[in-house]
Amino acid sequence: MGTMEQYIEDAEKALLHTYNRYQVVLDKGDGVYLYDIEGKKYLDFCAGIAVFALGYNNKRYNDALKDQIDKVIHTSNYYYNMPAIEAAKKIKKVSGMDRVFFTNSGAEAVEGAIKAARKYAYLKDGRTDHEIIAMEHSFHGRTFGALAVTGNPKYREAFEPMIGNIRFAKMNDFESVLEQVNEKTCAILFETVQGEGGIYPAEEEFMKSIKKLCEEKDILLVLDEIQCGMGRTGYMYAWQKYGIRPDIMTTAKALGCGIPVGAFLLTEQVGANSLTSGDHGTTYGGNPLAGAAINIVLDLFEENHIIDNVKETGAYLEKKLDALVSEYDCIETRRGVGLMQGLVFNRPVGDIITKALDRGLILINAGTDIIRFVPPLIITKEHVDEMTAILKTCLDAE
Ligand SMILES: *Cc1c(COP(=O)(O)O)cnc(C)c1O
């Protein structure tokens, strides 16, 4: 076996330079810990970017996937398969939505949601100039449709022209949304809790005002739950806290807990009046392996009372982070819900994250000045204590 340095050198010669990776080659995981190829142990508060909700090396999850691999991995969407049917029924139940389309990623779920919204509007008035309102500081993925609704010009500029007819408003500023609404508006799309953009939860009044506006004008409310969904905020989907229901929603990341799957979900009304045969498709989407992953993930969520743990441990994490805000002048505030939290610093956090990694703690940022906490949803108070102890040694060493 080569050294870590050799592997990193090989990687830099072969892979396209689209990521600034941390200088570590990860090898395996167990529970909430990851190990690099030299055997060093890391407490993981990133979870593969809000993906590995159930932790690593969960035997039930691994066995379910192995069983499915031994049966069949892929068959195509020309035929029905049992795991996908089961997965669709389960995801309907936990989300309260009516129709499901399985994708391979989050961005692809956003693409589908945009197509469904445009088709719904097209069937109503036959126009082809509909507009979508998205939010500043949003993140919806890197494909063209998803990028076009991502409210960060830095991600978009070099790739212009985007798909057209997108307008941007400000999250939690209802007036700014109203200013963008006109007779062409077909959808208002945002993350229930903005993730990459800096952990901004939608305020209750904002959410309710938008829902009311959408109902009055038959505009579709499209919520991106790719990061904040799947139990992370203490609700299966973050919008469930507000007593509303979106017309379309997207989910991915923790949905497959590591198997690349996503989905967009629709109400019956939108499902029956938008995409139909020939309008949309994917080769892999909802294949038996993906279906098996979703099934075991949703089963384990229920059996292990994941949502209850998020509520309890999330409250504890909040308390601990708030204590850090009081203790350290370089930390301005905390924002977030459940196990999706951000600590806002008065300066870039890159060096703190690198220091933490050296000390065996995996953290990530959201923007330059925010440390983001999106750990596996099985973490305990002891893990939170372990994390804060390491983080404090990094801050004290500044
Ligand atoms: C990660 C993310 C996406 C994109 O998902 P991919 O699987 O990377 O394509 C879209 N929206 C939100 C809110 C995300 O956090």
* pLDDT tens digits, 287-345: 999 999 999 999 999 999 999 999 999 999 999 999 999 999 999 999 999 999 999 99
- Given a cut of 50, the residues of the chain with pLDDT beneath it are none
Which atom of ligand 1 approaches the CA of 260 most closely?
7
* Candidate from 51, 227, 261 with most ligand 1 atoms within 8 A of CB, to mutate: 227
Length of the chain in terms of residues written = 398
Cα separation of 202 and 181, whole Å? 19
**Residue nearest (by alpha carbon) to ligand 1 atom 10:** 140
**Distance (Å) from CA 168 to ligand 1 centroid:** 18
Cα separation of 158 and 137, whole Å? 18
Backbone angles phi, psi at 242, to 5 degrees: -95, 0
Rounded to the nearest integer, the mean pLDDT of the chain is 97
Cα separation of 397 and 361, whole Å? 15
Query: Quick one: pLDDT at residue 398?
Result: 75
Query: Quick one: pLDDT at residue 1?
Result: 66
**Distance (Å) from CA 252 to ligand 1 centroid:** 7
Which atom of ligand 1 approaches the CA of 262 most closely?
7
Burial class (CB in 10 A: 0-12, 13-18, 19+), 339: buried
Angle 370-142-280 from CA coordinates, rounded to 5° = 135
Query: Quick one: pLDDT at residue 2?
Result: 80
Q: Pairing relation of β-strands 220-224 and 248-251?
A: parallel
CA end-to-end span of the chain: 36
The one-character DSSP state at 276 is -
**Distance (Å) from CA 125 to ligand 1 centroid:** 31
Q: Which residues line ligand 1 (CB under 6 A)?
A: 105-107, 110, 139-141, 191, 195-196, 224, 226-227, 252-253
pTM of the model: 0.98
